[in-house]
Structure 1
Amino acid sequence: MPFRPVSPEKLSTAVVRQVEELILRGILQPGKRLPPERELAERLGVSRPSLRDAIAQLQEASLLTAKPGAGVFVADVLGSAFSPALMALFARHDEAAIDYLAFRRDMEGLAAERAARLGSDTDLAVISAVFTKMESVDDNNNPEEQAALDAQFHMAITEASHNVVMLHMMRSMYELLRGGVFYHRQIMFKQQTKRAVLLEQHRMIHDALMARDAAGARAAVEAHLNYVERALMDQQRAERHENVARQRLDHELKG
């Protein structure tokens, strides 16, 4: 018979499973500091020795890391997603940025479609809350804050898709974006007209999700990223033209 005796799960094992689940679901993010030992043990309802055992197991699995005098943190599990050499190579070639946007368009379109179908009402409430923040800063001429909320909005959609592989892949994509490897999102917010257009595009995505219109949500995401791609290509073209113009001016002045 295929049955074996059932043994009760150790408390430390239960803690490990809970922390792993929180990291997998993207709730505990890289760099997040865990509460102090006493507080965390109380929250989990376990003894401090059981908690220490669990933390040791998670450190051995490279999911947590201890910093002397600072505490225990979620490890940077995305740190090795792209090597520094590959990131530098991306940054030197314009076509990499276009390929990056194409990848995002495919993945985020699918994420929006899944979020409209599978996201809970709470998931959609999170997306709506982020969009409300985007509306509130639209006229404040704060490109950095707008860019941060833009990324938060797109990540909230990915989280609502409830696909953990997609979640961590897209989080690594945004880390590249935040680091300026491909382009600075702030470029998209330099002109008031562009900011208004971008906000309206995000409104279309938001409204389709709230209506649980899966096809509409995907189409709205794709239209938005098509616009971003065109703006980026226009910027790259303008920079090339400016370089040629400066060469001509230099030639005329020296000639």
Structure 2
Amino acid sequence: MANSSLSTRLEGLIREAGLRPGDRLPAERVLAARLGVSRASLREALHGLAQSGRVQARPGSGHYLQAPQLDEIVAPLAGLMRQNPSYWRDVMEIRRVLEAQAAELAAMRATEADKARLAAQIERLEEIHEAGSAHEDAQGDAALHLLIAEASHNLVLLHMMRGLFELLAASISHSLEKLYTRPQTFRMLARQHRALVGAITAGQPEQARRAALLHLDFVAATLRRVEDDEARMLRLSPSLQPASDPA
């Protein structure tokens, strides 16, 4: 119990210091002095935070703050999404906020290596589509968006987006895959992806933000049409069944 209390106090100290994921924690002697505990007790608390994934111990270098694990972000929402997949709309609204910012930051921060990975993924998406697998199409699309998040060089943003993609994959993977079975939809998605990556590689933050919003609004509108079409077919299905012979 005492160790749990110390871990809580240590996390509070980390928050007060304004540390971000990837930042190095102060030296053990400094932390122990601030908390008024022995270094042995502090090491136990640090070990507990390392076990939970909150900090990472690097031999010879110290302890570093880590971003929240995906399970911490996704777990509270996964059950809700399974019970009512229509919450994908909420997820898309959050994607709109996060991905517009990710695109803008990527346009400002992307390295040459980031740009090369984005360009390669654009080409790979077309190769995947030619293979005719809607599932692989959806996976490749998600990979492109996560590469953009990586190019933003904001670790928290990247982890949050990974969590959102996991939620979508778990709840409406069937609908996502249907986007790629419509030739006109794929062509539009491909043009939007190229415009988005083009703005990022050209270092145009505002254009990248607009391209991301245009793309996500199109995806959301298309998903709504897919959902409406499936609901309509479900309503019609009883009337399409042959009438049973009277007993």
Instruction: Specify the TM-score bucket, using the shorter chain as the normaliser.
Output: 0.5 to 0.7
| Paired residue type of 2:180 | F
1:91–1:182 Cα contact (<8 Å) kept? no
Q: Which residue is 1:77 aligned to?
A: 69
2:141 matched to 1:141?
Answer: no
Match of 1:164 in 2: 155
Superposition pairs for residues 6-85 of structure 1, below 5 Å? Answer: 57=47, 60-63=50-53, 77-83=69-75
The structure where helix makes up a greater share of residues is: 2
1:212 aligns to 2:203 (yes or no): yes
Gaps of 5+ in 1: 1-23, 26-55, 65-75
Q: Which runs of 5+ in 2 are unaligned?
A: 1-20, 23-45, 56-67
Distance 1:134 1:249, change over 3 A: closer
Provide the rounded CA distance (Å) in 1 between the counterparts of 2:48 and 2:84.
Answer: 39
Instruction: Please state whether the residue corresponding to 1:253 is helix, strand or coil.
Output: coil
Superimposed CA distance per residue, residues 168-210 of structure 1 (whole angstroms, 9 cap, x where no aligned partner): 11111122223x2244321211123222221111111111112
SS at match of 1:212: coil
CA distance in 1, matches of 2:188, 2:148: 20
- Choose the corresponding residue for 1:150, options 141, 146, 150: 141
Amino acid at match of 1:181: S
- In structure 1, what is the Cα distance between the partners aligned to 2:109 and 2:187? 30
After TM superposition, the structure 1 stretch with the greater mean CA deviation from structure 2, 97-106 or 119-128, is 119-128
**What SS does the aligned partner of 1:162 have?**
coil
Query: In the aligned structure 2, how far is the partner of 1:225 from the partner of 1:132?
Result: 20
* Structure 1 position 127 matched with structure 2 position 152: no
Inter-CA distance 246–216: structure 2 relative to 1 (3 Å threshold): same
Q: CA separation in 2, counterparts of 1:83 and 1:216?
A: 34
Work out whether residues 110 and 200 of structure 2, in 8 Å CA contact, stay in contact via their aligned partners in 1.
Answer: no
Partner-residue secondary structure (3-state), 2:72? coil
The structural deviation recorded for 1:157 is 0.6
% same residue:
29
Partner residue of 2:219 out of 228, 232, 248: 228
CA distance in structure 2 between the partners assigned to 1:159 and 1:87 by the alignment: 24
Give the Å deviation of 1:248. 3.6
CA distance in 1, matches of 2:213, 2:156: 21
The one-letter code of the counterpart of 2:83 is: R
CA distance in 2, matches of 1:243, 1:138: 29
Contact 2:88 2:168 in 1 (8 A): no
Offset at residue 249 of structure 1 (A): 4.1
Give the SS at the match of 1:82: helix
Q: Is 1:118 the equivalent of 2:109?
A: yes
Summarize the Cα distance change of 1:136–1:82 in structure 2 as closer, same or farther, 3 Å threshold. closer
- Checking the alignment, whether the CA contact within 8 Å between 2:100 and 2:208 is kept in structure 1 is yes
TM-score with structure 1 length normalisation? 0.65
The code of the aligned residue for 1:118 comes to: R
* RMSD, aligned α-carbons: 2.9
Instruction: Indicate if the aligned counterparts of 1:88 and 1:181 stay in contact, CA closer than 8 A.
Output: no
